[in-house]
Structure 1
Amino acid sequence: MLTNCYCGNLIPFSDCCEPYIKGIKAAPTAETLMRSRYSAYAVHAIEYLLKTTHISQRKYHSKKDIEQWAVSNQWVKLEVLQATEKTVEFKAYFLDDQLQPQVHHEKSTFKQQNGHWFYVDGKFY
């Protein structure tokens, strides 16, 4: 049974975010990268999350912390509120380790370098 992608697109994960996470394709837009990063949290693709964080920001993100955040939560839904060429505002809905509903609301900034998009930082609401 094929289900829709974790990122909310109405196509299977294997046809949507998985090719980006596996490095088969490069995300063509900041929004696509953000969606694939959400899916990466859902499938615990920690290396992808590190690789798609801009090199100038990687020192602020430990692999251990990213992995803990990814695996301790159950990722429920992604809602993209607004996207421009370099920013994406979204709400990520999840259940925390106590199974309490939570919402992560962020406006993320992205940068394109050498044909690849990278997450730079975010403003949290």
Structure 2
Amino acid sequence: MSYPSAKHKVNTGDSCPCGGYAAGKSFRDCCGRWIEQLAEAPAPDAQALMRSRYSAFVREDASYLLATWHPSTRPGALEFEPGIKWLGLEVRLHRTMDDQQAEVEFVARSRLHGRATRLHELSRFKREADPAGQMRWFYLDGTLY
């Protein structure tokens, strides 16, 4: 499987949509490194993968989202809601059960046609070999609250 580059090229001055691990971190120094270098440098843990997937939703990067979705639950295609504006991400919990399973609870806020929405999910992640044999994390599924 090949991993195409992001739909939107990175401006090194852009702040990361996920809020970064530290305030003001650039996209390139935060999620951009995982999104643009997936084949060579996948996200090191489930929280980094979840944050990078949020950034990919903001940037409408379907190729990254599908490539990081576990094959057993991956949809055939993704469509983005026209006009949605993502407002922020709050990671509430990151729990590693073992070296192959983890959970991340988060709240993502958005606005669509003037109406605010919250997506509160406990996501499950699985670490296994990708088609090239490299170990990496995949989004498996989630429970909405």
**TM-score with structure 1 setting the length:** 0.88
More helix by share: 1
- Report Cα offsets for 1:57-84 as digits up to 9, x if no partner: 11xx242xx3324x44111100001111
- Give the 3-state SS of the residue equivalent to 1:14 in structure 2: coil
The answer to whether the Cα contact below 8 Å between 2:60 and 2:80 also exists between their aligned partners in 1 is no
CA distance in structure 2 between the aligned counterparts of 1:101 and 1:25, rounded to whole angstroms: 35
* Structure number with higher relative contact order (C-alpha < 8 Å, ≥ 6 residues apart): 1
Partner of 2:85: 74
Give the letter aligned to residue 44 of structure 1: E
- Counterparts of 1:35-46 in structure 2, within 5 Å, are 35-46=51-62
Partner of 1:34: 50
TM superposition shift of 1:88: 0.2
Identity of aligned residues (%): 39
CA distance in structure 2 between the aligned counterparts of 1:103 and 1:44, rounded to whole angstroms: 18
TM superposition shift of 1:25: 1.9
- Counterparts of 1:82-121 in structure 2, within 5 Å, are 82-85=93-96, 86-96=102-112, 98-114=113-129, 115-121=135-141
CA distance in structure 2 between the aligned counterparts of 1:13 and 1:41, rounded to whole angstroms: 14
CA distance in structure 1 between the aligned counterparts of 2:66 and 2:83, rounded to whole angstroms: 18
- How many residues align? The count is 119
Q: Give the gaps of 5 or more residues in structure 1.
A: none
- Report Cα offsets for 1:3-54 as digits up to 9, x if no partner: 4311111210011111211125210000000000000001111000001000
Partner of 2:31: 17
Q: Give the gaps of 5 or more residues in structure 2.
A: 1-11, 97-101, 130-134
CA distance in structure 2 between the aligned counterparts of 1:72 and 1:108, rounded to whole angstroms: 25
Give the letter aligned to residue 25 of structure 1: A
Query: Which is greater in Rg?
Result: 2
